[in-house]
Structure 1
Amino acid sequence: MTALDVRPAARRGPVARWRILVPAAGLAVIALVSLVGPFFLVDPLDVGAGEPLSGPSGAHLFGVDQYGMDVLSRVVSAGRIDLLLALSASAIALVAGIPLGAFAGYRGGAWDQGLLRVAESFQAFPTMLLAMGVTLALGPSLPNLVAVIAVVNIPLYMRLARSAVIPLREADFVLAARCAGRSTFQIVRQHIVPNIAQVAIAQFSVTCAWAIQVLAGLSFIGIGVRMPTAEWGSMIRQGTDHMVTGQWWLSVFPGLAILLTVLALNQIAAAARRWGGPS
């Protein structure tokens, strides 16, 4: 995963609005179903929900898994876990990384070089490999997974904010704030950070999409969310053993959930980047 480029603002019009509204509406539907769906569906841990390995039917729209649990209920329940973990980790990374990067980019000098070297040290490792290593060291609990994804992404936001702030250091409104006696903290908080909010929001969507894929990947290889807790990656892993015997629904439906969610997030990021950049 890489940081988004900071580009000039694009012309805004109906097409640009639809490009962000459509995926945002799709993501809202996914989030709403994941949030309220479990209240209307059978218990995702109920091993007596149906005949094991029975296919999609009127009673079980997504079929039943090898343990007798309803696949639709588990896909919906997993969505709540995946979205919550991804949003939490991405929010922590954004809140920690953007101010650090903005401060470093504005101050320059030793602060800038020191934080830049820390960010480069983290980014020297493949992010998925780093996430795997830290997860194995700390254990696969939900708080640890959030912490791992957040820590891995903080340097990304730092570099993003730094690259966006450097051209703004000598902007007229920043110079005016200095002449008015504003402190560095006040200038960064009141003038710098708001001007990089747009690109930060776009990167936030990308980070959420990446976090969902990492969570699924870690669970798929057995070091993320584990059974019986419903999670899209672990559901795909459980279903792969039965793909060759024709029980495709065990892996296909959680896979589609990941595909649609990640696609919506990436489209939101792309639309936000087209919509505009720092002003």
Structure 2
Amino acid sequence: MGEVKVATPSKLVSKSDSEFYQVMKHLRRNRMAMLGLAVLLVFIFAAVFAPFLTTYDPIRTDMGNARQSPSAEHILGTDDLGRDMFTRLIYGARVSLQIGLIAVVIGLAAGVPLGALSGYYGGTFDLIVQRLVDIMIAFPGILLAIVVVTILGQGVNNVMIAIGIASIPIYTRLVRGSVLAVKEQRFVAAAKVLGISNYKIILRHIMPNCLGPIVVQSTFQVATAILWAAGLSFIGIGATRPTPEWGLMLSSGRQFIQTSPHLTTYPGLAILFLVLGFNLLGDGLRDALDPKSRSVR
């Protein structure tokens, strides 16, 4: 008689059955999400390899070439101080992506632990945290960022901190709601019966089941942070000159909008496409991480 082979647990779950594979498969089928990802990759490539894509200095002025129209020498023209617009745009991508990512990290670092502990333990701690969150949410996010940056002062670093602080209540509410739903599941009750500590239950059993909403919200929040940063710079309380920041470029070029429209057109389009890229990818991730949405398609 032939030998009977027993499948090991690792072989029982095929690659096509894994959750990660299903998410990626669904995401690849979403054309708009792939378009958003492609747009983001272009901006990331430009930001990383900016020194190799241009020979011009993004800060050095040349008043003899001020406000030139697009030409072979300056493919997107020059600004009001003679600086190459293409150079400032790709270096500006570095600034915008840095602001968006670090602001979200600040919001995650504070909001996720607060939301997780608030939702899991409840009681007085939850009441205190939620009242503080209510106070912060009472201010529109951009207004709260304006208050913080006014206190801290201008500059890219302070803008990142201000937007990060304004993001904290968003993540606190989101994670608290997810934890409240997950902690009622049977596997959490089983972990408590087995004597597993609350710390390990939160980290190993609850938070992995809350990652989907956090990832999706972070994608949207990066776009929001970039938009807010541009707005703060546009009204004069964000990045300082001569930083190649898109909102600051818009503010500088608005007085020449009739004679040199390229000074505002290109920074505006850069903000539009980068924010659109994150939003399209976020929409795709939201659908891909939702099992009900995957089953419909």
Same fold, TM exceeding 0.5? yes
The residue type paired with residue 209 of structure 2 is: N
Give a deviation string over 1:2-26, Cα, whole Å, max 9, x none. xxxxxxx99x647644443331222
CA distance in 1, matches of 2:37, 2:51: 22
CA distance in 2, matches of 1:50, 1:109: 67
Runs of 4+ in 1 over 6 A off after TM superposition: none
CA contact (8 A) 1:104 1:112 kept: yes
Q: Superposition pairs for residues 61-72 of structure 1, below 5 Å?
A: 61-72=75-86
Structure 2 stretches of 5 or more lacking a match?
1-21, 293-297
RMSD (Å) for aligned C-alpha atoms? 2.1
> Which residue of the partner structure matches residue 130 of structure 1?
144
CA distance in 2, matches of 1:107, 1:19: 40
CA distance in 2, matches of 1:242, 1:197: 46
Q: Superposition pairs for residues 258-269 of structure 1, below 5 Å?
A: 258-269=271-282
Give a deviation string over 1:30-72, Cα, whole Å, max 9, x none. 1111121233311111213972111011111110111110000
Q: Superposition pairs for residues 1-279 of structure 1, below 5 Å?
A: 13=26, 16-41=29-54, 42-48=56-62, 51-245=65-259, 247-277=260-290
Change (3 A) 1:212 1:73: same
CA contact (8 A) 1:50 1:69 kept: no
Structure 1 stretches of 5 or more lacking a match?
1-8
Give a deviation string over 1:224-258, Cα, whole Å, max 9, x none. 0021111000101111100122x111011111110
CA distance in 2, matches of 1:35, 1:156: 30
CA distance in 2, matches of 1:203, 1:167: 17
CA contact (8 A) 1:102 1:188 kept: yes
The Cα shift of 1:278 comes to 8.7
14-23 vs 199-208, greater mean Cα deviation: 14-23
The Cα shift of 1:183 comes to 1.5
The Cα shift of 1:113 comes to 1.5
CA distance in 1, matches of 2:286, 2:141: 23
Change (3 A) 1:159 1:68: same
Select the structure of larger CA radius of gyration. Answer: 2
CA distance in 1, matches of 2:113, 2:30: 29
TM-score, length basis structure 2: 0.86
Aligned residues: 270
CA contact (8 A) 1:16 1:271 kept: no
The residue type paired with residue 285 of structure 2 is: A
CA distance in 2, matches of 1:25, 1:186: 38
The residue type paired with residue 52 of structure 2 is: F
- Secondary structure at 1:47 match in 2: coil
- Secondary structure at 1:196 match in 2: helix
16-25 vs 186-195, greater mean Cα deviation: 16-25
CA contact (8 A) 1:242 1:248 kept: yes
The Cα shift of 1:117 comes to 1.0
The residue type paired with residue 32 of structure 1 is: F
Percent identity for Structure 1 against Structure 2: 36
CA distance in 1, matches of 2:34, 2:75: 29
